[in-house]
Amino acid sequence: MNDIAIRFDHVGKLYKLGLVGTGTLSHDLNRWWKTTILRQEDPYLKIGETNDRSKKGASEYVWALKDITFDVHQGDVVGIIGKNGAGKSTLLKLLSRVTSPTTGAIRARGRIASLLEVGTGFHPELTGRENIYMNGSIMGMTRHEISHKLDEIVDFAGVERYVDTPVKRYSSGMIVRLGFAVAAFLEPEILVVDEVLAVGDAEFQKKAIGKMQDVSKGEGRTVLFVSHNMAAVRSLCTRGIVLKNGLIDYIGNSKEAIKYYLKEDFHINKGQIKDNIVWTKNGLSITNIQLNHSSLVQTTITSGQETLSLRIEGETKQDMQTDVMLILKNQDEVPMVSLAEGHCKGIIEKIGKGKFVIERTIQLPKLLSCGDYFADLFLHHPMVEWQMKAPHCVDIHIDGYQESFGRPLRLKEEGFMGLETI
């Protein structure tokens, strides 16, 4: 296919951990001896080790990126998402030719402009106008091109009044606006953008995203965009790549990629709900918890389901008064609905010494959009004591009757508005 703008072909990047200056001369000599003279494999490249920053590895070298292979088509806007240290910025650095890969090759068509930072090369003593020239020429524009677009740049940045003032007198937001404005008028075939929009105000962020959309949709340019802002990725990108520990974890449609990425952290691994109890009161033991007739940590509320059942079995060594609190939160940990009868109605259940069963049948609220939720479950005597805490103990998937629409509880009900998926 000839419309491929960028091709990553088994790209890897190796970094050495720790201090670069310690003992490197001997390592360098060793490596040089082994690879250049003896033509052996590099002794410091250990294959098969992944880059997990929280765990201690055996080697002091680490693959920040490994075996990255994918194609980007012309006009694609690719969102690259992943946790800190997943290799997103390294990927962009390689593409920007700031540093070179250890293995593999990247091939591209057209001019690449990278925006790893806004306003690179700005000198505080120079005026806004001079810095536009400075920054523009660092990005590869000619003076002629810059002069041609100067008015547009100044206008886009909205700093007309300050254009002949040294940028050291600018606010940090103004510097970002000016820097982004220069980049926006660069007109490269491929635009590489790191998380740079975070500093501008809401109005400017909107403007910047709009500009990037114009660039990709209107002019058919290719954009690679790294961000932690899922809303920006969702609205801007057509494709998504999830990086994890330097490897491609997921690649596909941007919405799916975001979903995948968010789920990644979201799932509970432990098999049963009761295994996720983090704390219980002395003398209290919980033997089983069932939500929606299941003691497993994953459950689905189907379309049309009206109630949710909850059953807690346990044993107590002393009499207690207790109440159940159940909170459903969405993936951003925002509480959506909660059950806390003790707080609302003052209904507290009295439990005697010995085995007990607490059962609830909860009327599901009509307003609950489809999507993924999780539940926090607590036993407590309101305002007196905590008895059991089990935050994030069940993943709940709520089925809508249609993907992007909310969940009208009773389909036949007239005049009911379903909630949109967020």
Q: Kindly list the residues in this chain that would bind other proteins in the complex (CB under 8 A).
A: 1-2, 7, 15-16, 20-21, 24-25, 93-112, 114, 116-117, 120-121, 123, 125-126, 130, 133-134, 137-143, 166
CA-based nearest residue to 335, from 379, 292, 375: 375
Nearest approach in angstroms of CB 15 to other proteins is: 6
Distance CA(209)–CA(197), nearest Å, equals: 9
- Would you put residue 158 in left (φ > 0), alpha (ψ -120 to 50) or beta? left
List Cβ neighbours of 41 (8 Å cut-off, separation of 6 or more). 34, 35
Nearest approach in angstroms of CB 11 to other proteins is: 8
Please, which residue, 110 or 271, has the CB nearer to other proteins? Answer: 110
Please, which residue, 57 or 166, has the CB nearer to other proteins? Answer: 166
Please, which residue, 116 or 364, has the CB nearer to other proteins? Answer: 116
Please, which residue, 192 or 289, has the CB nearer to other proteins? Answer: 192
Please, which residue, 45 or 336, has the CB nearer to other proteins? Answer: 45
Nearest approach in angstroms of CB 206 to other proteins is: 25
Nearest approach in angstroms of CB 314 to other proteins is: 56
Nearest approach in angstroms of CB 34 to other proteins is: 16
List Cβ neighbours of 345 (8 Å cut-off, separation of 6 or more). none
Give the CA radius of gyration of the chain. 28
Please, which residue, 7 or 46, has the CB nearer to other proteins? Answer: 7
Please, which residue, 103 or 298, has the CB nearer to other proteins? Answer: 103
Nearest approach in angstroms of CB 143 to other proteins is: 5
CA-based nearest residue to 165, from 131, 114, 199, 137: 131
Please, which residue, 138 or 357, has the CB nearer to other proteins? Answer: 138
Nearest approach in angstroms of CB 3 to other proteins is: 10
Name the amino acid, one letter, at 293: H
List Cβ neighbours of 170 (8 Å cut-off, separation of 6 or more). 128, 159, 162, 178
Nearest approach in angstroms of CB 241 to other proteins is: 18
Distance CA(269)–CA(266), nearest Å, equals: 9
Nearest approach in angstroms of CB 281 to other proteins is: 54
Nearest approach in angstroms of CB 223 to other proteins is: 16
Beta bridge pairs of residue 99: none
Q: Is 26 exposed, middle or buried (0-12, 13-18, 19+ CB in 10 A)?
A: exposed
Please, which residue, 96 or 238, has the CB nearer to other proteins? Answer: 96
**Whether the Cβ atoms of residue 336 and residue 373 lie closer than 8 Å to each other:** yes
Please, which residue, 104 or 382, has the CB nearer to other proteins? Answer: 104
CA-based nearest residue to 189, from 302, 109, 271: 109
